[in-house]
Amino acid sequence: MLRILTRGLRLKELKSNMVRIHLHPGGKMPERKTPGAIGFDAAIRAVVSPTEMDPINLILRKTLFDFTESPNDNPYTERHIVIVPGQFGNQLAYKMDPGESVLVGIGFVTEMKWPMFYWVAPRSGLAAKWGITVANAPGTVDPD
């Protein structure tokens, strides 16, 4: 369970603001990286199809690339896969062309009580270091 704290709420109200999170395979739990962080960081689980649904689980989008293995059934996706040095050795990455956009899945679903909402905002380092932006930022995720 992830506790979401909202400024100005009394202790009794804070105790009722537990948020249940279900991780998808390969998903990572959102985490607050530093004690002073206002929000939680969510990791990308996969590049997903904007038009096709997963054939096994029809509520999920079809995974095009999951950062663990190189797909061999999609030449378009395959040409974007590169190997880069990572914290624990070489890892797979998805290299985008300038101006290209992709849809990604974060690897978890959550429920929240009204009037809570999530606000999805890009990290400033993504744009400064890599030129990556979130096209619809900030994104609002409503409880319904």
User: Above 80 in pLDDT, residue 35?
Assistant: yes
- Residue 17's pLDDT is 57
User: Above 60 in pLDDT, residue 78?
Assistant: yes
- Residue 5's pLDDT is 46
SS3 of the chain: the string is CEECCCCCCCHHHHHCCEEEEEECCCCCCCECCCCCCCCCECCCCEEEEEEEECCCCCCCEEEEECCCCCCCCCHHHHCCEEEEEECCEEEEEECCCCCCCCEEECCEEEECCCCCCEEECCCHHHHHHHCCCCCCCCEEECCC
User: Above 70 in pLDDT, residue 130?
Assistant: yes
User: Above 50 in pLDDT, residue 84?
Assistant: yes
Q: How high is the mean pLDDT of the chain? A: 81
φ and ψ at residue 75, rounded to 5 degrees: -60, -35
Each residue's pLDDT tens digit, 119-128: 888 777 777 8
Check if the beta carbon of residue 9 is closer than 8 Å to that of residue 29: no
User: Above 50 in pLDDT, residue 23?
Assistant: yes
User: Above 70 in pLDDT, residue 14?
Assistant: no
Domains of the chain are 1-43+106-144 (2.70.40.10), 46-105 (no CATH)
- Residue 48's pLDDT is 92
User: Above 90 in pLDDT, residue 24?
Assistant: no
- Residue 6's pLDDT is 46
Each residue's pLDDT tens digit, 40-68: 888 889 999 999 999 998 888 999 999 88
pLDDT above 70 coverage of the chain, percent: 88
